[in-house]
Amino acid sequence: MLEENGTVKVRSLSGGVNQRGVRDFNERLLLSMIQRYDAKPGSELAKLAGLSPQTVSVILRKLENDGLIVKGEPVRGKVGKPYTPVALAPDGVFSIGLKIGRRSATLLLMDFTGVVLKQVNLTYRYPAPREIFQFLKEGLDTLIAGLEPRTVERIVGIGIAAPHEIWNWHELLGAPAEDFESWKRVDIVKEIAKFSDLPVSIVNDATAACRAEHVFGRGKEYRDYAYFFVGTFVGGGIVLNHSVYEGHRGNAGAFGPLRSVGPDGTDQALLDTASIFILEEKLSSMGIDPERLWHRPQDWSEVAEYVGPWAEQVGRELAKAGVSACAVVDFEAIFIDGAFPPDVRKIIVQAAQRHLDELDTRGIIRPAIEKGSIGENARTIGAASGPIFNGYFLDTNVGLGDG
């Protein structure tokens, strides 16, 4: 439930709907290692986990019987016996992800390895509860239609990525305050229970995007980093010691309020200088319908003359914000992703790298500025990973070894 004080409640899940339930710690540990390092033989997993080969063998046999892992082809090395790597079974577990955005909603079905199998989208001027729940209800029917019964039985839950205090954004979105006010009274879990018995988990949308990058993208390459996601409003997430840090109220990495100085010397918030709504306003002022920014597949080439200056500004502001973040935490890297086409992301990242060279970085160790690898779907994929983590993985990479 999204509460008035901004707290994001995350419901504890029990894992597979029709499976054995929550896996024990060692099973989660091995599944997490396989997910992080891809296919590995049991002998290597035993060394990484600090478990005996016999214990690992027993656990892997159970996981295989449960349909959660599959054996690969035997690999013959230069010396010794051939070894058989094991990998996650793509059809071992499935999950539903819903992103409630300020301009659009996305619903998808994802397999155990993070591959999106089906997806439906909805665009709107602003998110109204009734419209969102109707979209979810009808979208679930669309996603499940045609699936084999075994696949449906292995859908473990619905993960939802929603903005922090969504009801506070009505002015910037140009929406009636009373429509947004209704979100304060909405119990998302209860509303979904009216038409689905799947377990539900809720996470901040930008934190969900960060999780997607960390689990399925390039986030595995770094121990500590700040992650910026440029949506209608910019937000982000934090990874510390190989783990996504949500904060005690689920809102860590809320970079939007970070202060910056505008070209005219005025004090500004990052969300007012590095968000897509700025580009929307520019297009509207030129008589161009900004809804084209949210069409699928995304193609912003027709408004490139407006996208270029906006992307340059976003890159400059994210470079400043990255330096500020590194002054607090010694981040190795700054990741940048967002709800825009890959070519626009490239422009923004290059601009940020260039502007970082011009900034005063005394007192900090210069971070790498990296391009996110998930893209517009990051928030929805991160949401879908929630039910899977709750039942099958460790929600941390600490202790998983160095690979």
Residues 246 and 274 in one domain: yes
Does residue 32 lie in a domain region?
A: yes
Answer for the pair 125, 105: CB distance below 8 angstroms, yes or no. Answer: no
Does residue 403 lie in a domain region?
A: no
Domain at 76, CATH number? 1.10.10.10
Query: Could you identify the residue written with the tokens 């969300």?
Result: 271
Domain that holds residue 62: 25-88
Residues 224 and 369 in one domain: yes
For the chain, 403 residues long, give each residue's pLDDT as a single digit of tens: 333 333 333 222 223 333 444 578 999 999 999 999 888 999 999 999 999 999 999 999 999 999 999 999 888 776 667 889 999 999 999 999 999 998 899 999 999 999 999 999 999 888 889 999 999 999 999 999 999 999 999 999 999 999 877 766 555 556 666 766 788 888 999 999 999 999 999 999 999 999 999 999 999 899 999 999 999 999 999 999 999 999 888 889 999 999 987 767 889 999 999 999 999 999 999 999 999 999 888 999 999 999 999 999 999 999 999 999 999 999 999 999 999 999 999 999 999 999 999 999 999 999 999 999 999 999 999 999 999 999 999 876 555 655 5
Residues 111 and 243 in one domain: no
Residues 256 and 318 in one domain: yes
Residues 229 and 348 in one domain: yes
- For 395, list phi and psi in degrees, rounded to 5: -85, 45
Residues 150 and 241 in one domain: no
Domain at 258, CATH number? 3.30.420.40
pLDDT, tens only, 259-285: 987 767 889 999 999 999 999 999 999
Does residue 305 lie in a domain region?
A: yes
Residues 110 and 235 in one domain: no
pLDDT, tens only, 130-173: 999 999 999 999 999 999 999 999 999 999 999 877 766 555 55
Q: How many domains does the chain have?
A: 3
